[in-house]
Structure 1
Amino acid sequence: MVKKILGELHEFKLPSILTPLCMIGEVICEMIIPVLMGRIVDLGINGADMNYIIRVGLMMIVVAILGLLAGIGGAFYGSRASTGLARNLRKRMFDNIQTFSFANIDKFSSSGLVTRLTTDVTNIQNAYMMILRMAMRAPASMIIALVMSFIICPRLALVYLVAVICLGAFIIFIMSKATKYFREVFEKYDRLNESVQENVSAIRVVKAYVREEYENSKFKTAALNIYEMFVRAEKVVTLNGPVMTATVYACILLISWMGAHMIVSNELTTGAMMSLLTYCMNILMSLMMLSMIFVMVTMSSASAKRIAEVIDEETSISNPDQPVMEVKDGSIRFDHVDFAYNTESEEPVLKDINLEIKSGETIGIIGGTGSAKSSLVNLISRLYDVEKGSVSVGGIDVRKYDMEVLRNQVSVVLQKNVLFSGTIYENLRWGDKEATDEEVRRACALACADEFIEKMPEGYDTFIEQGGTNVSGGQRQRLCIARALLKKPKILILDDSTSAVDTATDAKIRKAFAEEIPNTTKLIIAQRISSVQDCDRIIVMDDGKVDGFGTHEELLANNTIYREVYESQVGSSGDADFDEGGDN
């Protein structure tokens, strides 16, 4: 795991090497100063030698400046290395997430991935900065201070050694207790982010149903869980402070008492005593730093594991070794297809699907909620892979195509229409980044989007807010249809993508498709029979199975579900929803 994380340093390896070298240089300078101070006291002040005091004082200034420069260098290179590692980790994770199939994303959840890209990476960044600086400085400072103390007075230095051993054991005990809490807290972060993401994305629904109080309560509960978990961990970790302080003062008192007796008996000089007290503070402060490092490393170890999981995750859908690079036509074939979102599910979502669709046909797909209409079309562009059987496009199994080639020829307008922040032109050119203004306008005309775009003050240069919040649902749907058309696909899938437009506009869009893109295979998922009755053929889905497949007239004559729904919708002036139909 550590190797995986550090493997993302790349161009920041040199700053990672220079940082500890600078810190060691700073420590050496700090350790020299107490020795020089002792000499000033013993030889300069006691010997009344002003020239010696000045010479050693100047040496102290030079050493202090060198130490300051080394410290600045350590801070600069450490910041560069840690922020660089964080940048590379985020990029590596994001790049890998882009390869994920829908199944991979379902495994982690979008809120979990956000937490890993933000909070977890920040923890690694802070921990790496601390390791590069404090993890080198603290041990080096402690070891050099101990060595210098033993050189000055071995008997008094034993006090430090005993204190270091006892405090080291105590720190390990504390960290072992706190570790389990830090590992659990990041799962709580996932739930908190999930609550925020859900609330913000559905803020209109929240306000429409006056559910602010409920959402506040839900967020408060998630935040409280994180608070309580951190409090438990901090209660354990804060024991470190008083124990450390008590040890520092105990060492100072003991050394002062023993040192005073040694000075009186001429076994120790006053300057040496001052140096020992300075080294005492250095040693114990180094232990304090090490305890902070242990806390940060404990927290970051859980984050490192979560980051490594995303980096190591392999997409469940990948290109074959020698992919087919051309889609011949828009013909589609389902051959005994079974599919489940979870391989451990007892029942598949789609069961033994057999369909043959000719290139250029317009196919309607209709069925109740949960009948697996969307699941069926998701297999065509290989957003998911089948469990059994095969799906073929242009006479070739979709698993043999290069995925980019396949998806460029299969345009999908999903149920959740998503627009991105930017102008209308910029949004539409997601379909074809090289599309001319004329081609964009032509696609909008086919999708009946031109009529409302031209009424906007800035026309096609109108800025779309994130998620398309400044356009209506129907306008958003038509823009997404136009974006899909710009790809000039061989297969166009509209997954309930005209549900927010009026019946007249829906009819215009279908007519434009029939006249302008006759060679494109069109799959139209709808709840209204009026949206599909003019299709060449219609698929009736029920509980993951094909209950009927034929023309409008054939289904009226032979399919009970279709006939009952048609009659109920015609009886309601054609506006009834499919789910209001008969028992299906």
Structure 2
Amino acid sequence: MLFRLLRGQLRPYRKEITLVVLFQFVQTLATLYLPTLNADIIDDGVVKGDTGYIMRIGLVMLGVTLVQIICSAVAVYYGARTSMALGRDLRAAIFHRVQDFSVQEVNAFGPPSLITRTTNDVQQVTVLVLMTFTMMVAAPIMCVGGIVLALRQDTALSSLLVVVLPLMIVIVGLIVMRMRPLFRTMQERIDRINQVLREQITGIRVIRAFVRDRHERERFGVANADLTDVSLRVGRLMALMFPSVMLVVNVSSVAVVWFGGYRIADGSMEVGALTAVISYLMQILMSVMMAMFMFMMIPRAEVCAERIQEVLDTEPTVHPPAEPVVPERQIGELELRSVDFRYPGAEEPVLSGVSFTVRPGRTTAIIGSTGSGKTTLLNLIPRLFDATAGDVLVDGVNVRDLDPAALSRAVGLVPQSPYLFSGTVASNLRYGRQDATDEELWRALEVAQARDFVEEMPGGLDEPISQGGTNVSGGQRQRLAIARALVHRPEIYLFDDSFSALDYATDARLRAALAEEIADATMIIVAQRVNTIRHADRILVLDEGRVVGSGDHAELMTTCPTYREIVLSQLTEQEAAA
């Protein structure tokens, strides 16, 4: 999975990768050449007292070192640039894929996991690629070249590599094999700690209201301890690997000096050749250690790559139309024909056989008990979900075939829990229409009964809004969301219990202003309060996903027991008849 991901993402950077490999190759050759030159200086210069030879070879060594420095710098530059570009592309790819997801896919992964995959997982893959460019390219060249050049210096002494190399490979290989499952667990624990932290930050008011600070601290402590436990286990393995490798390296050095000393004593070997063999042995072992270090990083990067690829391979359940259709006339006519919806894996459908038509200039209200499918029904219209059966039509065109831009222009949704983005009041209101004037913003705020509190803000339209709108009250947040929809000017307005945080007086003023401002538009209101919807042109009553009543308030009071029960749970008989 890791190589599949990298193969696809690194294809545009073949030129940069070629340069990295080329300069790393030259730099490694220069590194390998230096011990041979050093041996020549010792054996042919120092021993014989030839100062001129020492100066000439010394200058050559300086030149080789200069080449080594330049090539290393260029290779690191291109390697870093390519790996950072890879990280940028992966983050963008995940972001764009998530943007195409419906609510169903987002809920399946979970926001904390998607954040972790976009940040931490991408970082792990990026680090691996950077280390590959700076270390892994050089490691095999240095290992093979070091073995060849060591054998040229002294074949008998170099035979120690037959024992040393397999021993090091076995030690590091066993450690790496134990790390892979721990890295997968670590990423899952990071997901968990992000989830807990996100819940605690966004739900801080509820935590304080119920005085659950100690409970939340304990819950975070458990998640934190779980991550720490896995991290410590990984750290112990890493701590075990480096001393083991250094033990092999140091024992090997001692063995080379020991046996090399005997060979020098009997005249079979020169001092310079011994220093060269020691240098090559160190280079060989360091290259193996670098390779093993890379193999140690690969398991975690592989786990991260699998998680990234899982997001990229997930196909959205809401597909854009292959041949988008733009309706001949955009007037805001809405029709549902025998619509069913069932969540994946659910035994029972949320909606069954829902059919109705809403004409422009008419207000349709939807009411029902909790869990009757009201919000799900509204979400089908802007294609947050796709109906599992039946058709949803806007201006005579099935929303599955409708051009997404045309659907966005036609439908304005004010969700049950309105969300404001970090920025200003003006930037939030212009979210659906960037060219709206200040006068249009103030008019929308006036209709939404939000002008008064915005004018009282020190910055007015430029007053900062925090992420999620947490620096304004729930009622203010709802009114700003309604104003945002009004600025958008769609043909169809969907209000999903969008007046629940308003007092009765503000609710009445808002509905009266809406009736005047968008008299020619199609308006669908989902509400729990009967007073909010009793004057609608048509009221649909949902019960367990089915339409059990349709008509105005007076009709439903006499023909629909479910509606009558809901009304009388909120109003007296006299108030309901008024």
What's the CA shift for 1:321?
A: 2.3
Residues in 1 aligned to 2:406 and 2:14: alpha-carbon distance in whole angstroms: 38
Look up the SS of the partner of 2:457 in the other structure: coil
Deviation, 1:524, is 1.0
CA-CA distance at 1:573 after TM superposition: 12
Shift of 1:181: 1.7
Q: Report the residue type matching 2:509 in the other structure.
A: K
C-alpha deviation, 1:510, in angstroms? 1.0
Alpha-carbon distance in 2 for matches of 1:192, 1:544: 37
- Residue identity in the other structure for 1:432: R
Question: Residue 261 in 1 paired to residue 293 in 2?
Answer: no
Q: Deviations over 1:425-477 (max 9, x none)?
A: 11111121111222222222221111221222221121212211221111111
Shift of 1:345: 1.4
Partners of 1:364 and 1:538 within 8 A in 2: yes
Matches within 5 A, 1:19-34: 19-34=20-35
Give distance in 2, aligned partners of 1:442 and 1:6.
Answer: 54
Amino acid at match of 2:549: G
Aligned 8 A contact 2:474 2:501 in 1: yes
Partner of 1:356: 357
Deviations 1:64-108 (A, max 9, x none): 222122222222111111111000110111112111111221221
The answer to whether the 8 Å contact 2:366/2:525 transfers is yes
Q: Could you tell me which residue of structure 1 aligns to residue 513 of structure 2?
A: 512
Q: Is the 8 A contact 1:431 1:485 kept in 2?
A: no
In 2, the alpha carbon distance for the partners of 1:408 and 1:103 equals 23
* Distance in 1 of aligned mates of 2:479 and 2:264: 91
Q: How far does residue 230 in structure 1 lie from its aligned partner after superposition? A: 2.8
1:332 to 327, 331, 334: 334
Aligned to 1:391: 392
Taking the TM superposition and a 5 Å limit, the aligned residue runs for 1:31-180 are 31-180=32-181
| Paired letter, 1:566 | V
Residue in 1 aligned with 2:382?
381
User: Is 397-406 or 270-279 further displaced after alignment?
Assistant: 397-406
2:330–2:410 CA contact under 8 A, matched in 1: no
Please give the secondary structure, in 2, of the residue aligned with 1:460.
helix
Residue identity in the other structure for 2:42:
V
Identity of counterpart residues, as a percentage? 37
Q: Measured at CA, do residues 572 and 306 of structure 1 come closer, stay the same or move farther in structure 2, by a change above 3 Å? A: farther
Kept after mapping to 2: 8 A contact 1:530/1:574:
no
Aligned partner letter, 1:26: Q
Verify the 8 A CA contact 2:87 2:122 in the aligned structure 1. yes
What is residue 582 of structure 1 aligned with on the other side?
Answer: none
Encode CA deviations 1:352-378: one digit per residue, 9 max, x unaligned. 212232232111111222121100111
**Partner of residue 495, structure 1:** 496
Conservation of the 8 A alpha-carbon contact between 1:192 and 1:222? yes
Does the CA-based 8 Å contact 2:76-2:133 persist in structure 1? no
**Contact 2:422–2:466 (Cα < 8 Å) also in 1:** yes
- Per the alignment, residue 309 of structure 2 pairs with 308
Asked if structure 2 preserves the Cα contact closer than 8 Å seen for 1:82 and 1:125, the reply is yes
AA matched with 2:129? Y
Q: Structure 1 residues 406 and 215 mapped into 2: Cα distance closer, same or farther (>3 Å)? A: same
Is 1:428 matched with 2:451?
no
Quick one: structure 1 residues 83 and 101, their matched pair in 2 at CA, closer, same or farther if it must change by over 3 Å?
A: same
- Looking at structure 1, the residues matched to 230 and 18 of structure 2 have their Cα atoms a distance apart, in angstroms, of 36
* Alignment partners' CA distance in 2, 1:6 and 1:494: 47
Residue 6 of structure 1 and its aligned partner are, at CA, apart by 3.5
Give the SS at the match of 2:456: coil
Indicate the residue corresponding to 2:6 in structure 1: 5
Runs in 1 of length 4+ with deviation above 6 angstroms? 572-575
Q: Is the 8 A contact 1:424 1:464 kept in 2?
A: yes
The aligned residue for residue 558 of structure 2 is 557
Q: Could you say what secondary structure the match of 1:364 adopts?
A: strand
CA displacement at 1:571 relative to structure 2: 4.4
Letter in 1 for 2:341: F
Whether the 8 Å CA contact 2:365–2:525 is kept in 1: the answer is yes
Q: Rate the CA distance shift 1:418–1:238 in 2: closer, same or farther, 3 A.
A: same
Q: Write the letter of the residue equivalent to 1:387.
A: T
SS at match of 2:159: helix
Unaligned stretches of 5+ in structure 1?
Answer: 576-584
Question: Is the contact made by 1:30 and 1:67 (CA closer than 8 Å) also made in structure 2?
Answer: yes
Q: Aligned with 1:400: secondary structure?
A: coil
Q: Deviations over 1:219-240 (max 9, x none)?
A: 2212222222233334344432
Partners of 2:333 and 2:358 within 8 A in 1: yes
Aligned partners of 2:122, 2:407: CA distance in 1, in Å? 34
* CA spacing shift, 1:48–1:375, aligned 2, 3 Å: same
Distance in 2 (alpha carbons) for counterparts of 1:132 and 1:147? 24
Aligned to 1:285: 286
| Aligned equivalent of 2:540 | 539
Structure 2 distance, partners of 1:129, 1:260, is 41
Separation in structure 1 between the aligned mates of residue 180 and residue 220 of structure 2, nearest angstrom: 25
CA distance in 2, matches of 1:73, 1:314: 40
- Secondary structure of the residue that 2:335 maps to in structure 1? strand
Residue aligning to 2:571: 570
Paired residue secondary structure (1:7): helix
> 2:121·2:301 contact (CA, 8 Å) conserved in 1?
yes
> Does the 8 A contact of 2:184 with 2:303 survive in 1?
yes
Go from structure 1 to structure 2 and tell me whether the alpha carbon gap of 1:553 and 1:572 turns closer, same or farther (over 3 Å shift).
closer
Aligned partners of 2:515 and 2:145: how far apart in 1? 83
Aligned residue for 2:338, secondary structure, equals strand
Q: Is the 8 A contact 1:96 1:311 kept in 2?
A: yes
Cα distance in 1 for residues equivalent to 2:482 and 2:92: 31
Counterpart of 1:334 in structure 2: which amino acid? L
2:13 & 2:225 partners in 1: Cα distance?
38
Whole-angstrom distance in 2 between the partners of 1:84 and 1:358 = 51
Structure 1 residue 395: Cα displacement: 2.4
Q: Does the aligned pair in 1 maintain the 2:94–2:311 contact within 8 Å?
A: yes
Aligned residue identity for 1:338: D
Query: How much has 1:10 moved relative to structure 2?
Result: 5.7
Maintained 8 Å contact 1:350/1:372: yes
SS at match of 2:525: strand
Structure 2 CA distance for partners of 1:307 and 1:513, relative to 1, 3 Å:
same
Residue 529 in structure 1 maps to residue 530 in structure 2 = yes
Aligned to 1:415: 416
Higher deviation after alignment, 455-464 or 120-129: 455-464
Number of residue pairs aligned between Structure 1 and Structure 2 = 574
Matched-pair contact (CA < 8 Å) for 1:331–1:358? yes
* Paired position in structure 2 for 1:218: 219
CA distance in structure 2 between the aligned counterparts of 1:202 and 1:286, rounded to whole angstroms: 51
CA distance in 2, matches of 1:394, 1:453: 36
**Using a 3 Å threshold, how does the CA distance of structure 1 residues 214 and 64 change in structure 2: closer, same or farther?**
same
Q: Point out the more displaced range, 487-496 or 209-218.
A: 209-218
Relative to structure 1, is the Cα distance of residues 574 and 252 closer, same or farther in structure 2, using a 3 angstrom cutoff? farther
**CA deviation map 1:481-513 (0-9, x unaligned):** 111112211110111111111111111111112
